[in-house]
Chain A
């Protein structure tokens, strides 16, 4: 795998090997040098190196741009920089020309030479590569003017894209580790905890527990041998959420700085990042960042001469959703199976190795330096009464502008889906938005004006979760979505407690048969009867919230469920056993595109004559539906 960052071409002016920083003054000296070299390079090309853009081929684009720079003999004057995720993944690979900040999207290697010679050197704006407003088709040259970004408030994510995640100097140049200095040298541990309390920060991993209160409990807890731990939960298991990965890949030091501040406040002796194995790039970036933090003296013995010693290790998750639960996560860190335990004794008192342990999510830790630097009052001025600050969401599914967004708490779902998200793909009809992953629920159109915060989402039966927002249109079957989550939870239930292990499985069996068109009268009541039992009887959050996706779906989309049970129909055209494919002879142009992809050879016809689909041999694979450009393949 190629590294996430690195300056290529053009030495960084004044950059020298920075020795271990022994004091705040050392850091300020280092900052002066970093800033000078950061600012010395004004004209450069930045290529988004996030996972989304990599999937779109950004590494080939970066290479082509580098080649073009070299061929033009510009290595010394025009650096190419691979940054973290910019958020607008749908439009990747993304390239930005500095200092003008010209924003190019869907760039391919063949565009490289024009980008270098005409745009970066001559300052020309290449109109064909600009983002175009969906309504007016007007090209928009700058990132900040694009509707996707305009309504956002990028506090935590702000430096993604501005810094090279593999170079600590960039983070320092932009003010990094100044909150740490403030905490270590100008604040008492209790003051830090008080500040976090006052800020109103709540856990970003899903639960929404007040972070300051957790810290205060941990501070009070006694450890028999003095060992105390802080852990960063980077085991982002919610399907459809990827903000934690992008934070670590794009700005790892903000997370590390938050952890050191927390450790100092709570008196922790060591820290761990529990990171998901499916995220190899994040692991690589984090490993490098920790190493650099150590070299510079932000980790290790006597940090910046403060007398406080602390270090962070990495623990790779084994791939289990239940390990998002604190006690299960800690069990797996002890080399055991990741099963949760009852929490009569909280983990802040007895957590990892039975020592006081504070577990916070990646995004929560990344908020801490902001709060320390700019103050609790400033932070608490953003958001709603009980949910402060911003939240990063991954806006995905059937929406036009998919990607990662950071918005103030309290923004409405309508603003998110229709203004930032640019509405539904292909002009189809909005049906629901799913939040909170497998623990959350679906929210219908009638509730689109709901302000997004922890409590309001819970009120309507869903939850914030870690911030996945999956938009669904009229071709998404709500029964199928409920079945999907039950399948997920059946697989991921650890099996320790019966209500979850058996209950969710039974629930899935009922929904499965409804999807197959074998639903029985009374099945919907059966589901409603089982759900609260499972929720009440389960040991941990996984089982307690497992019925949410089904229950909200039933609450808001009952008609669709009844259509499956009563009429044996799937109105959205998804449930395989309930749909048939056919070809509309009036719409079919006879282009023959659907004939070859059909694995069963059940479509016949001649060129320019309507084709015929033999439904008796059709396996509902959807191949013909996908290739038809004339909407002539009908699915009902």
Chain B
């Protein structure tokens, strides 16, 4: 897989990551947590950040890369300013989540798992957010939207596009 272009908003990564690394005492056992915080900071994992983490923890780059590509939490590509997550848990599935996902793909012009070229929006599916009683569920920018219908999807898309 090709690494994403490491354009980061805040310049030098080396110093930027120190607070995160220190927060976890540079404990290699906490690599997953550290990468999550790095991802939160940049909305993805830039190559330089992985290198910096590898060097600071004394963990081979191959292992950092393996972890960064194994877990769903991580993205090596920049993600959009808005993130749609369609819950694909069983309860949402039987209540019609696939139709909602298909509609979002059509209306956003983005395939599931991808980000728009202008970085405006990312569409992804998640395996259950634990709000099954509200299914089908869409999480838009960390906010749970329950009982999502086609009409409600239209409203969510409008909100993001405006």
Interface residues of A (CB under 8 A from B): 1, 51-52, 54-56, 89-90, 92, 236-242, 245-246, 277-280, 315-321, 332-338, 353, 394, 396-398, 402-403, 434, 437, 468, 470, 472, 476, 481, 484-485, 488, 491-492, 494, 597, 599, 621-623, 626-627
Indicate if the CB atoms of B90 and A237 lie closer than 8 Å: no
Alpha-carbon distance A245/B133, docked complex (angstroms): 14
Which chain B residue shows the least CB distance to A477? B94
Q: How many B residues face the partner with a CB closer than 8 A?
A: 48
**Inter-chain contacts of B89 with A (CB < 8 A):** 239-240
Alpha-carbon distance A396/B94, docked complex (angstroms): 10
Q: Counting CB contacts under 8 A, is B88 at the interface?
A: yes
Question: Shortest distance in angstroms between A65's beta carbon and chain B's nearest beta carbon?
Answer: 20
Alpha-carbon distance A403/B57, docked complex (angstroms): 43
Question: Shortest distance in angstroms between A343's beta carbon and chain B's nearest beta carbon?
Answer: 20
Known contacts A242-B132, A621-B102: A334-B29 contact under CB 8 Å: yes
The one of B73, B93, B96, B144 in contact with A318, judged by C-beta atoms closer than 8 angstroms, is B73
Which chain B residue shows the least CB distance to A394? B132
Indicate if the CB atoms of B95 and A398 lie closer than 8 Å: yes
Alpha-carbon distance A51/B150, docked complex (angstroms): 23
Indicate if the CB atoms of B90 and A403 lie closer than 8 Å: no
Which chain A residue shows the least CB distance to B63? A336
Indicate if the CB atoms of B135 and A396 lie closer than 8 Å: yes
Known contacts A396-B132, A402-B132: A319-B91 contact under CB 8 Å: no
**Inter-chain contacts of B95 with A (CB < 8 A):** 397-398
Indicate if the CB atoms of A56 and B94 lie closer than 8 Å: no
Indicate if the CB atoms of A239 and B128 lie closer than 8 Å: yes
Q: Mark B46-74, 1 if CB is under 8 A from A, else 0.
A: 00000000000101000100110011111
The one of B29, B91, B151 in contact with A597, judged by C-beta atoms closer than 8 angstroms, is B151
Alpha-carbon distance A202/B149, docked complex (angstroms): 40
**Inter-chain contacts of B88 with A (CB < 8 A):** 239, 488
Indicate if the CB atoms of A54 and B144 lie closer than 8 Å: yes
Interface residues of B (CB under 8 A from A): 28-33, 35-36, 57, 59, 63, 66-67, 70-74, 88-91, 93-96, 99, 102-103, 106, 126-135, 137, 142, 144-146, 149-151
Alpha-carbon distance A626/B93, docked complex (angstroms): 15
Alpha-carbon distance A623/B88, docked complex (angstroms): 19
Question: Shortest distance in angstroms between B63's beta carbon and chain A's nearest beta carbon?
Answer: 7
Indicate if the CB atoms of A89 and B90 lie closer than 8 Å: no
Indicate if the CB atoms of A622 and B99 lie closer than 8 Å: yes
**Inter-chain contacts of B128 with A (CB < 8 A):** 237-242, 278
Known contacts A319-B72, A621-B102: A280-B67 contact under CB 8 Å: no
Alpha-carbon distance A55/B146, docked complex (angstroms): 6
Indicate if the CB atoms of B131 and A318 lie closer than 8 Å: no
Indicate if the CB atoms of B29 and A403 lie closer than 8 Å: no
Indicate if the CB atoms of A318 and B72 lie closer than 8 Å: yes
Alpha-carbon distance A379/B16, docked complex (angstroms): 53
**Inter-chain contacts of A336 with B (CB < 8 A):** 31, 63, 66-67
Indicate if the CB atoms of B150 and A319 lie closer than 8 Å: no
Indicate if the CB atoms of B70 and A89 lie closer than 8 Å: no
The one of B33, B66, B99, B134 in contact with A55, judged by C-beta atoms closer than 8 angstroms, is B134
The 7 closest A-B pairs by CB, nearest first: A318-B71, A89-B133, A242-B130, A335-B31, A319-B72, A239-B89, A55-B144
Known contacts A318-B74, A336-B63: A403-B133 contact under CB 8 Å: yes
Known contacts A56-B134, A476-B94: A623-B150 contact under CB 8 Å: yes
**Inter-chain contacts of B91 with A (CB < 8 A):** 239-240, 394, 396-397, 402, 468, 470
